[in-house]
Amino acid sequence: MIWWIIKRDLLLAMRRRSDMLTTLFFFIIVVSLFPLGVGPEANMLRMMASGVVWVAALLASMLSLGRMFSSDYADGTLEQMLLSPVSLSALVMGKTISHWLVTGIPLVLMAPILGIQYDLSVEALVVLTLSLLLGTPVLSLIGAIGAALTLGLRGGGVLVSILVLPLYIPVLIFGTGAVEASTAGMGFGAHFSILGAVLLVSIVFSPWATAASLRISMG
Amino acid sequence: MTINWFKYASPASFYFLAGRMIPYFSVATIIFLIAGLYIAFFSAPTDFQQGEAYRIIFIHVPAAWMSMFLYVIMAFWAGVGLAFNTRLSSMVASAIAPTGAMFAFLALWTGAWWGKPMWGTWWVWDARLTSELILFFLYIGFMSLQAAIDDPRRADKAGAVIALVGVVNVPIIYFSVQWWNTLHQGASVSLVQSPKMATAMLSGMLIMSLAAWMYAIVMVLIRSRLIILERERHTAWVSELKEGVLE
Amino acid sequence: MLTTKNLECIRGEHRLFSNISFSVNPGELMFVGGPNGSGKTSLLRLLCGLSLPDSGEICWNGTDIRELCGDYRNVMTYLGHLGGIKDDLTAIENLRISSALAGCGIDEDQAADALGQMGLAGREMLPAKVLSQGQRRRVALARLLVTQTKLWILDEPLTALDIAAVDLIKGILEHNLSTGGMVIMTTHQEIAMTAATVHHLTLS
């Protein structure tokens, strides 16, 4: 059943590629603006790179949260999901996975190319990409709770950022920390372990909290 | 004699109970505040390293403590409201949020005032200050979410979810900020108090904390009463209250 | 059998309805009528378990639907006035996905067959956004042809349908009722049902 939902959401995303591309271009533009703001000095850019890429990824993933449930809400599919004999948490998990595949994966793939703009070493590029690969699913999982709570509210888009961004902080810290540790020649294994632990905790709790939030918002 | 505690779980009886309790707690607030401020300004010795400016911790530390306690208490009552569908606990949770946010803000503000003479800068990316800032954001998130929802029942439940998610996240956030802080040690000064505090300082701080507790209770009671009146304005007891039959 | 006792629903400041009690037995249909804003949709949402009543209870075969959860959802089909039709999916994809969501997956042929019966032959592969309102509604209602459930809760199913389609729906409803099914629906254009017990509930 999860598979059905993922397949459907990917199909919808493919028929509306522009939504997916806007998020990706937002990410690219934000990252490319920073050197224009702070100057092209290579050393400084190298220091900033992981932070800039990560913050841009946070914002890009947050921007796409509004679409996660809103179209299903508007056309009545969400009602059908709530009434499905299949567990709502499972359906939510499916929707979160497809959200990540559609918005998270393109960011992960684009990150090394953007990292080159910042003169990152090959090792740092690999670590940055891997940290995004581990961290972006958490963004989708936590973001789903915020998206579910603000469903159908006026000003929901801004509200979701206030709710969700503070909760993204640990991911930001350990994601950028991994890159910095590798640039400084230290081990980054601990950062990855913690990111992995945060991911596991989110996988366990987030679908359940999101399902509860959806019932609250639709009730 | 057995007391029927559930009686006070109804908004109407809580309204009157809170009304009777407010004066006592107000008096307690004033007494503790006067005693605490007296110790803070007159009997606590001047710190030989930090001079007179350290006296701001008599407000800063209790405010920081309160902001953390109140978040947990708020999440607890919101969670009780969500789990047992008790309206009163959700109303109390909403009443706690502004006071908690005020204390978080006060802690940040006084932290900046203290930082300026101590470190020569208004803001330091110290782990505790950063965590306090994030806690302030969490309060703001809770209040904005509740404010954006028109249906009070949905607002209660949605607020409870975000408060509980916040409570689960607070330790993770605190831990990650600590970690981040040790990585960037060069950029900050540790807030950890090095030598032992004088007894007068410690007692002053504790009494000020009690004053902050009492103040928080008074504010929460007052705000709960207002929320109860607003939510229950169509019920019989509120109309009777308006006509002066009760109380 | 679906029974309700003293249902009450409050939305914001005012009470939409209270003391609604009724029961619907196998083979029976209930029309829910009343002016706009009288709480018809709210009542249906309570009956299918999307929202909770402010007081009163709803029982399926004597057990509260809140306790039944998934078991109740297995025997009930709800079609809201929104329909749950995705613009970017074809008619056949829409029907297959909504059926799968409702717990009874169907293959391409079954879906095409159901859409054909609904008078949509030749349009199965068109994206829903090029279909007319009435055709979209037919896609949504095609669910009723493939569902295995007995209790149908339908919110304004006849909106935007032409006379032929209304007749079609009437046939589908009668078939369900004659095989021991139950239907609760809101509508502004009542249809004359033959050979079925019909109840009327009017909200004011």
Question: pLDDT digit string (tens) for B156-195?
Answer: 999 999 999 999 888 888 888 887 877 654 433 444 554 4
B142 conformational bin, left if phi > 0, alpha if psi -120 to 50, beta if neither? alpha
Q: Which residues are paired to C33 by β-bridges?
A: C202
Question: pLDDT digit string (tens) for B99-111?
Answer: 999 999 999 999 8
C-alpha pair distances (Å), B66 with each of B101, B213, C86, C146, C148: 10, 7, 50, 59, 57
Question: pLDDT digit string (tens) for C146-186?
Answer: 888 889 999 988 888 888 889 899 999 999 999 989 999 99
The residue segments making up the domain with residue A118 are 2-218
Interface of B with C (CB under 8 A): 150-151, 234
| pLDDT of B12 | 86
When pLDDT is cut at 50, 70 and 90, the band that residue C195 belongs to is: low
> Other CB atoms closer than 10 Å to residue C202's CB: what's the count?
11
- Name every chain A residue with its beta carbon within 8 A of the beta carbon of B156: none
- Name every chain B residue with its beta carbon within 8 A of the beta carbon of C13: 234
The token duo for C182 is 């139950």
The token duo for A167 is 């909760």
Q: Which of C51, C73, C101 is the closest to A219 by Cβ?
A: C51
| pLDDT of C103 | 83
> Other CB atoms closer than 10 Å to residue C194's CB: what's the count?
7
When pLDDT is cut at 50, 70 and 90, the band that residue B213 belongs to is: very high
Residues of chain A with pLDDT under 50: none
Taking the C-alpha atoms of residue C39 and residue C32, their distance in angstroms, rounded to an integer, is 10
| pLDDT of B48 | 66
The pTM of the full predicted model, rounded to 2 decimals, is: 0.89
Taking the C-alpha atoms of residue B67 and residue B100, their distance in angstroms, rounded to an integer, is 5
Geometric angle at alpha carbon B177, from A175 and A179, rounded to 5°: 25
Question: pLDDT digit string (tens) for B217-234?
Answer: 999 999 999 999 988 887
- CATH of the domain spanning C2-202, picked from 3.20.10.10, 3.40.50.300, 3.40.50.1820, 3.40.50.620: 3.40.50.300
B244 conformational bin, left if phi > 0, alpha if psi -120 to 50, beta if neither? left
Report the number of distinct structural domains present in chain A.
1
The token duo for C13 is 């400041």
Taking the C-alpha atoms of residue A143 and residue A96, their distance in angstroms, rounded to an integer, is 9
Question: Among all residues of chain B, which has the CA nearest to that of C12?
Answer: B151
Q: Would you call C12 an interface residue with chain B, using a CB distance cutoff of 8 Å? A: yes
Average pLDDT, chain A: 91
The token duo for A158 is 């801004």
When pLDDT is cut at 50, 70 and 90, the band that residue B8 belongs to is: low
Q: What are phi and psi of C7, to 5 degrees?
A: -65, 140
When pLDDT is cut at 50, 70 and 90, the band that residue B117 belongs to is: confident
The token duo for B23 is 């004066």
Of B201 and C141, more confident: C141
Q: Identify the chains in contact with A, defined as 3+ C-beta pairs within 8 A.
A: B, C
Q: Identify the chains in contact with B, defined as 3+ C-beta pairs within 8 A.
A: A, C
For B4-36, the DSSP string reads -GGGGGSHHHHHHHHHHHHHHHHHHHHHHHHHH
User: Which residue stretches of chain B are H helix?
Assistant: 11-38, 57-84, 87-119, 127-148, 152-183, 199-231, 236-242
Domain limits, chain C: 2-202
| pLDDT of B54 | 78
Which among A164, A166, A170 is positioned nearest to A63, based on CA atoms?
Answer: A164
Contact across the interface for A169 and B176, Cβ inside 8 Å: yes
C-alpha pair distances (Å), A158 with each of A62, A154, B165: 10, 9, 19
Which among C81, C76, C42, C34 is positioned nearest to C59, based on CA atoms?
Answer: C76
pLDDT above 80 for C202: yes
Q: Would you call A11 an interface residue with chain C, using a CB distance cutoff of 8 Å? A: yes
Question: Among all residues of chain B, which has the CA nearest to that of C11?
Answer: B151
- Name every chain B residue with its beta carbon within 8 A of the beta carbon of C11: 151
Q: Would you call A205 an interface residue with chain B, using a CB distance cutoff of 8 Å? A: yes
Report the pLDDT averaged over residues B65-70. Answer: 92
Which among B97, B94, B80 is positioned nearest to B139, based on CA atoms?
Answer: B97
Compute the residue count for chain C. Answer: 204
